[in-house]
Structure formats: structure tokens, C-alpha cells
Homo-oligomer: A and B are copies of this chain.
Amino acid sequence: MSYAWHETELRVRYAETDQMGIAHHSNYIVWFEVARSDHCRRVGVPYTEMEANDVQLIVAEASVRYKRPAFFDDLLLIRVRPAEIRRRSLRFEYEVVRKADLELLAVGETLHVVTDKSRRVRSLPPEYIKLFEA
């Protein structure tokens, strides 16, 4: 079974381009995070609330496979879904798609460890797990 994709739309900023004329590859990591935050907010677990409840999702791993470039002013769909929901870790996967032609530009993954503010591993509150699984 796999979870449903959630989608965030964003437009490539001029500041995100590089002298190759394409969006610099480091931005994908930021876009993944934008989509992930949106996802958390929509399922009912906004980051700000998590942090207020002494829950942090620390990034332990991140990877991207770049297939085609994104250009300035392109409207992109950043898709995210949980790939693995455990008590002490969450894995998300991502797709970056150009809205105009639905070309798949990149795929990626992040792994997060659940900690408190002092970065000690802790468990996700069960109600958060339910919300992520819903």
C-alpha cells in the first residue's frame, strides 16, 4: 500500500537560477521542504505546532535524482507523500513536475528522525501518526 501524493505549486524564482540558465540543484531540497511543510499543515500537523509540542523532524538523509532542468518562471508541482511512517522516523518521497507539460524533472527522498528540542530521539505522538497515516 502506498500513501496518496500531496501537491504544492511554486514558480521558479530568478534568484534560484544559476549561470547555466537553470534552477540550481540545491533548490530542490528547499522545494521538497516547502511541499513537506504544506503536507504537514494540511494533514493537521503543522511544523509550528510540532515545535510547540517539543517535536522536531530532523533531516537525517536527503537525496535527489535530477532528470531534466527547471527554468526561471516555470510553474512546478512538487509532490510529496510519506514512504514510511514509524514511531521514531519518517521517510518522505518527492516528485518535481513541470506543470505546463507534466514532464518529470526530478525525484527525491528525505528521512527524518523524531526528536525533542535538545535533539534527543523521541516518539511521534500517536495522534500525529494517525494524521500522517490518514
Contacts of A43 in B (CB 8 A): none
Q: How many copies does the complex hold?
A: 4
Chain B proximity of A29: nearest CB distance (Å):
4
Residues of chain B contacted by A131 (CB below 8 angstroms): none
Interface residue count on the A side (C-beta < 8 Å): 37
Which residues of the other chain, B, contact A64 by a CB distance below 8 angstroms?
A: 61-63
CB-CB under 8 A from A58, the residues of chain B are 20, 66
A19 with B30: in contact, given A47-B73, A62-B63, A63-B61 (CB under 8 Å)?
Answer: no
**Closest chain B CB from A122 CB (angstroms):** 15
- What 5 pairs across the A-B complex have the smallest Cβ distances? A63-B63, A17-B19, A26-B29, A25-B59, A15-B30
Which partner residue on chain B sits nearest A111 by CB separation? B65
- Given A48-B72, A72-B47, residue A34 in contact with residue B13 (CB < 8 A): yes
Whether B73 contacts A25 by the Cβ 8 Å rule is no
A19 and B14 in contact (CB under 8 A), knowing A62-B64, A64-B62, A66-B60?
A: yes
Residues in chain B near residue A26, CB distance under 8 A: 15, 26-27, 29-30, 33
Residues of B within 8 A of A72 (CB): 19, 47-48
Name A22's closest neighbour in chain B (CB-CB). Answer: B19
Interface: A89 (CB within 8 A)? no
